[in-house]
Structure 1
Amino acid sequence: MYDFADQKRIVYIAFAIILLISSAVAPVAVFYPLKVIFITPAATAVGTSFVSLITGGLGLALIAAGFFALALLENRMKRYLAAGLLFAVGILGVLLSLSDYYYVTPDGFTYNGPFSISSQSYQWEDFEKIEERIGTQDNIRSVQSIALYFKNGDIIEMSSGKIFEMSGTLISNIKEAGGSHERINLEE
C-alpha cells in the first residue's frame, strides 16, 4: 500500500511532467493570446519578441524542475530550498515573458522589450525615422530587420516577429507625422 508521502510525490511528478510538456507550447498557445486579450482594445496589431517565447518556456521548465525537486530530494532542507529557488526563478521567467510585448494604436507605438518591466509609449510625432534593412537569404531579398529611431535618441531594433506585419502601418504613420523612411541594402 502507498503512504501519503508517496502520493504527494506522484502528484508533484505529474505536475512537473504537465508543466514540462507545456513549456514547449504554452508561450505561443497561452502567453501570446493573454497579451492580446489584456492589451488595450485600441491596438491594431500586437507582437512579442522571440526572447519572450524562450523566457516563458524556460520559466515553465524551471517550475517543473521545482516540482521534481519536491518529489525526488530526500533531505527536507535541500528539497524546499531547491524547489523555492527554482519556483522563484521560473516565475520570474514567466513574468518577463508576459511583460515582453509591443503594439500599434492609432495614437502611437508602445514597446516593452525583453527583460524589461515597464513599457514606453511613443506618439507618432516622437519618431525621427524608420529603417528597413534589406538582405538576401536563400536568393530571396527580404526585410531582415526594422529599426525605429526616436527624437529623444532611443533606438529599437527588431529582427523577428509581428514587426514585419506592422511595418506598413508604422511607415505610413511615421511619414504622416513628419518622420522619414529608409531602405538600406545590407549586401552593398
Structure 2
Amino acid sequence: MYDFVDQKKIIYITFAIILLISSLFAPVAIFYPLKVIFITPEALAIGTSYISLITGGIGIALIAGGLLALALIEMRMKKYLAAAILFVAGSAGMWLSLSDYYYMTTDEFTYNGPFSISSESYKWEDFEKIEERIGKEDNTQTVQSVAMHLKNGKVIEMSSGKILEMRGDLASRIQQAGGLYERVELEQ
C-alpha cells in the first residue's frame, strides 16, 4: 500500500507540473479556438480581452495547486478541503476566461465582457458613435483604445486585442447606421 500512495503522489505532482506549464499557453492555444468554434458561424470577427487570458491561466494554475495539495498535504481533512477550494476557484477562472468574448455580425455587435455572466447584443442602430483614441508611442501616433458609445449612455471601451483590427469595420457599420466616427487625441 505504501508504494501505491507514493505512486499516486507522483501522478498528482506530474499532472500539476503539466498544468502549471500549460497555464502559460493554454488560454491562447485552447480557450480562444474553443470560443471561435462555438460562437455563431455568422460572426465576421471574434475577439477576447487580455484579462480572459490571465483568468484562464490563473484558473489552470489553481487546479494544478489543487493537485499539489492532494499530493503534499498529509492531514486528510485539510488535504481535501484545500484541493476542493482550489479546484472550484480554478474552474471559476477557466469559466470566466471562456465567457469573455466579443464578436460582430452583419446585424449586431455582441459583447460579454470580463467577469460578466451574460452577453449583450447591440444592433448597429443602437450606437451613437465610435471613438478611436490616439496616443503617441515612440513619436508615432497609434490607436490606444476604441470606445463605442451607445445611445442609452453605456460606453464599451477596449484597448487591446482583435478590437484594434476590427475598428475600421466597426466604424463603417456604425456610420452606415447613422452613428458618428471620431478620432480623439489623448494628452500625453
SS at match of 1:54: helix
Give TM-score, length-normalised by structure 1.
Answer: 0.98
Structure 1 equivalent of residue 29 of structure 2: 29
- Letter of the 1:131 partner, please give it: E
Where does residue 7 of structure 2 map in the other structure?
7
Deviation at 1:138, TM superposition (A): 1.2
Q: Tell me, which stretches of 5 or more residues in structure 1 are unaligned?
A: none
Q: Distance in 2 between matches of 1:15 and 1:91?
A: 16
RMSD over equivalenced CA pairs, Å: 1.1
Give 1:121's aligned residue.
Answer: 121
Alignment of 1:137-176 (within 5 A): 137-176=137-176
Displacement of 1:187: 2.7
Aligned to 2:187: 187
Deviation at 1:54, TM superposition (A): 0.3
1:5-52: CA deviations, max 9, x gaps?
111111111110110000000000000010011100000100000000
Other-structure match for 1:74? 74
How many residues of Structure 1 are paired with residues of Structure 2 in the alignment? Answer: 188
Name the aligned partner's letter for residue 5 of structure 2: A
Question: What's 1:55 paired with?
Answer: 55
Shift of 1:105: 0.4
Tell me how far apart the structure 2 counterparts of residues 149 and 120 of structure 1 sit (CA, whole Å). Answer: 14
User: Once the 2 structures are TM-superposed, how far is the Cα of residue 135 of structure 1 from its aligned partner?
Assistant: 0.4
Q: What amino acid sits opposite 2:99 in the alignment?
A: S
Runs of 4+ in 1 over 6 A off after TM superposition: none
Relative to the length of structure 2, the TM-score reads: 0.98
Measure the CA separation in 1 of the matches of 2:14 and 2:37.
29
Instruction: Supply the AA of the counterpart residue of 1:179.
Output: G
Distance in 1, matches of 2:168 and 2:134, equals 15
Residue 41, structure 1, aligned to residue 64, structure 2: no
Alpha-carbon shift at residue 2 of structure 1 (Å): 5.7
